[in-house]
């Protein structure tokens, strides 16, 4: 018989939600690149990238919130505190940076939608390329933050407090 697992509580949700922003925010630029290559479906790819950025950014807010709750109940050592502090700092940067990047991509999409006919063809390619160059540091910070979280779990054994099975 199928039984729902017990609800872990907000602090226990961190391991469940943390992967969503990572994946969504790392896949989004691939759709921007696809839009640059496949001009016939450019708008669809760009819109899909925007949707992933919005979902990834919202998921980043949830992941940071659940991570803050999980950090409050985690077992601590000085070394864990140091890595956890770096992880939290990077997570805050990720959240802020991808909020800005998502709003910038939204603005680009709106400009392309409303005045696309007035823009030179080279500009329609250059703007997304510049955006991708600006997106790259965010991806590096995101992967570094994820690596620090992985160190907390796999090197130091920090884990979510999950309720006992019934």
- Give pLDDT tens digits for 129-144: 999 999 999 999 999 9
Q: Which comes out higher in pLDDT, residue 58 or 74?
A: 58
Burial code (b: 16+ CB inside 10 Å, e: under 16) for 38-72 equals eeeebeebbebbbebbbbbbbbbebbbbbbebbbe
Over residues 15-29, mean pLDDT: 95
Q: What is the pLDDT of residue 161?
A: 66
| CB neighbour list of residue 12: distance below 8 Å, 6 or more residues apart | 70, 160, 161, 162, 163
Above 80 in pLDDT, residue 149?
yes
Above 90 in pLDDT, residue 65?
yes
Q: pLDDT tens for residues 71-106?
A: 988 888 999 999 999 999 999 999 999 999 999 999
């Amino acid at each position: 018989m199928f039984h729902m697992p017990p609800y872990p509580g907000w602090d226990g949700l961190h391991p469940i939600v943390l992967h969503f922003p990572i994946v969504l925010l790392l896949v989004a630029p691939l759709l921007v690149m696809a839009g640059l290559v496949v001009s016939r479906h450019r708008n669809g790819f760009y819109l899909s990238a925007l949707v992933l950025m919005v979902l990834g950014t919202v998921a980043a807010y949830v992941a940071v919130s659940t991570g803050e709750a999980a950090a409050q109940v985690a077992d601590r050592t000085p070394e864990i505190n140091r890595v956890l502090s770096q992880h939290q700092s990077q997570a805050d940067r990720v959240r802020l940076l991808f909020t800005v990047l998502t709003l910038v991509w939204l603005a680009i999409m709106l400009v392309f939608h409303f005045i696309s006919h007035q823009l030179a063809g080279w500009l329609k390619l250059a703007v997304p390329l510049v955006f991708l160059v600006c997106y790259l540091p965010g991806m590096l910070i995101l992967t570094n933050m994820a690596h620090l979280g992985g160190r907390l779990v796999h090197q130091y054994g920090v884990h979510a407090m999950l309720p006992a099975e019934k």
